[in-house]
Chains A and B, each alone.
Chain A
């Protein structure tokens, strides 16, 4: 009697969890299939090789936006990943409890929650107005500011997972603190740190708001990092809000490319993590 009740309860709860899981998956697959359905027809080789064409002319692409997104995410990574990782090492290895690290931790938590448009406005005021023009560099800066708190947080979590006995083992052998971090702690946590960094990269690749008033956008190739540069999210935004079906098509294709880019980054992050830990 008691057993039956328990089994019944078990079955009940299990089905609730399963249903909840499927419901949680609906939006993900809904969005994915919708974007693929709408985007695949406008996707062609030209889309990857050509510049955008004006309304009414066929054969336009988003080559400059794809490259632009890659360049600006790269600039952001160059700034954001080293700063983020070094800051996290400081917070976990050198200074866990002082007012400074408590303050930095609080600031990173606040920064992760700040709407990205605000980062865009700050960089617009601090960089674009000072330099006197919109530029890819400003766009990269804006993205890096979104990245840094994400990387600090994920790296810190990874470093915290490493047990103290490993650090003490290092010291017991007479290895200096710096060497212990560089040769023992970082390699042990490397997979987790890399995963965190790649997820942060994937996150900023899809950001529109911080780029609108920093990198601005460009329907041509930018000749230098000091010029306005196109990016996929901004190009999609401009096309999607236009009145024309042809441009909506292009926006769908752009969305598909952007989503694929983010998924590839996500998957490779997970794959890197899994293959080494097994």
Chain B
């Protein structure tokens, strides 16, 4: 009787024992640094949810040629990516907004490099009964709509840019992201650059104190809010608007031209901007005739001084591939290609990454 009753207990102890053994093995992965190129490497990265689908496909493609390299990238949001790479719980991060000086100083592993991986555009979408697909909205008007100063679709200021279109007498409802988001960063960066009032009252950031409107979580939340609310206007990643057939506005760029968001007009924004040495730059409202004004980079964040040779080598080689051949995957997924002029500079930047003082990329 006693022995039978105790059997499940014995089993349980065996299981606990077995698992604790697994745990022990796990804590000593035993991968010495300084191995050749065929060495196995497991990398972990996280951050920008915007770049997740592209990076995921690039990783998969790269793995076909380098089966020894496993790269795990998770979309946790740009803010979390910055935080976690700073805490060194990740091998690399990815973000849609550049790190601030304070954030750079807080990084525990030394200097973090910003390496542009792709470009994104933010589309202004709306739900106005009987409105055409590419409504024209002037920069100052867009800022005033989001400030809550233009409150009705039949406002004279919107009408002047859209001759021949009769907009209904409908109240404007602003929809925005309620979660921290790189998309919000790019959009508010743009509004700050075109409206001094927005810049002083609201400013730019991944999450803001919105003067007007309703919030939605993620692109899906904002898209849902727009679809359910007649008279609403909001902002989405271009890829999201295109994939879900939502109408989006034509915006007026710095040169006064009306530009529809597209992959070409997004790439043009990067090509038209003077990009500084460290690549931490805003490309909203860039000057150039064919530039779409609401665009931004997604950067990969890598420590300049790598602590593990195998991992560092795998990471640098992968990113180098991603900014060259990997760019061919962009357009199929609605991402803009990096301008060719920038790729060479990025490669030079990758060459400054070192392990024990020696450059990794040869």
The chain A residues found within 8 Å of chain B, CB to CB, are 53-57, 75, 78, 128-129, 132-135, 137, 212-213, 216-220, 223-228, 234, 238, 240-245, 247
Query: Judging by beta carbons under 8 Å apart, are A228 and B239 in contact?
Result: no
Query: A78 vs B18: C-alpha distance in the bound complex, in angstroms?
Result: 12
Jot down 14 A-B pairs with beta carbons below 8 A, ordered by A. A54-B56, A54-B60, A55-B333, A57-B57, A133-B44, A134-B90, A218-B74, A224-B25, A228-B72, A241-B75, A241-B218, A242-B49, A244-B53, A244-B243
Q: Which residues of B contact A224 (CB under 8 A)?
A: 22, 25-26, 29
**A223 to B29, alpha carbons, bound, how many Å?**
10
**In the complex, what distance in Å separates the CA atom of A56 from the CA atom of B15?**
41
Q: Using a CB–CB distance below 8 Å, which chain B residues touch chain A? A: 15-16, 19, 22-23, 25-27, 29, 42, 44, 46, 49, 52-53, 56-57, 59-61, 70, 72-76, 80, 84, 87-90, 218-220, 237, 239-240, 243-244, 332-334
Q: Which residues of A contact B239 (CB under 8 A)?
A: 243
**Closest A-chain residue to B83, C-beta based?**
A213
Complex CA–CA separation, A224 to B30 (angstroms): 12
Known: A225-B19, A243-B219. 19 other contacts (CB 8 A): A54-B56, A78-B15, A129-B89, A133-B89, A134-B90, A137-B23, A216-B44, A216-B46, A217-B72, A224-B29, A225-B22, A225-B26, A226-B29, A238-B52, A241-B49, A241-B219, A243-B244, A244-B243, A245-B243
Q: Nearest 4 pairs between A and B by C-beta?
A: A224-B26, A226-B26, A54-B57, A243-B240
Question: Contact: B332 with A56, CB < 8 Å?
Answer: yes
The smallest C-beta distance from A226 to any residue of chain B, in angstroms, reads 3
Quick check: B89 and A132 within 8 Å, CB to CB? yes
Which of A54, A75, A241 makes the CB contact (< 8 A) with B220?
Answer: A241
The reply to whether B219 and A219 contact each other, CB–CB distance below 8 Å, is no
The answer for the CA separation of A219 and B87 in the assembled complex, in Å, is 22
Question: Is the CB–CB distance between A238 and B87 below 8 Å?
Answer: no
A55-B57, A133-B44 known; A213+B237 contact, CB < 8 A: no
Q: Assess whether B44 is in contact with A55, with CB atoms less than 8 Å apart.
A: no
CB-CB under 8 A from B87, the residues of chain A are: 129
Chain A nearest Cβ from B239, distance in angstroms: 5
A212 close to B23 (CB less than 8 A) = no
The interface residues of chain B lying within 8 Å CB-to-CB of A228 are 44, 72, 74
Min C-beta distance of B285 to chain A, whole Å: 25
Query: Across the two chains, which residue of chain A brings its CB closest to B56?
Result: A54
Complex alpha-carbon distance, A134 and B88, angstroms: 10
Determine the distance from Cα of A226 to Cα of B80 in the docked complex, in whole angstroms: 21
Contact of A243 among B15, B53, B60 (CB under 8 A): B53
Cβ of A129: which chain B residues have Cβ within 8 Å of it? Answer: 87, 89
Give CA–CA (A238, B84) in the complex, Å.
18
The residues of A that contact B29 with a CB separation of less than 8 Å are 224, 226
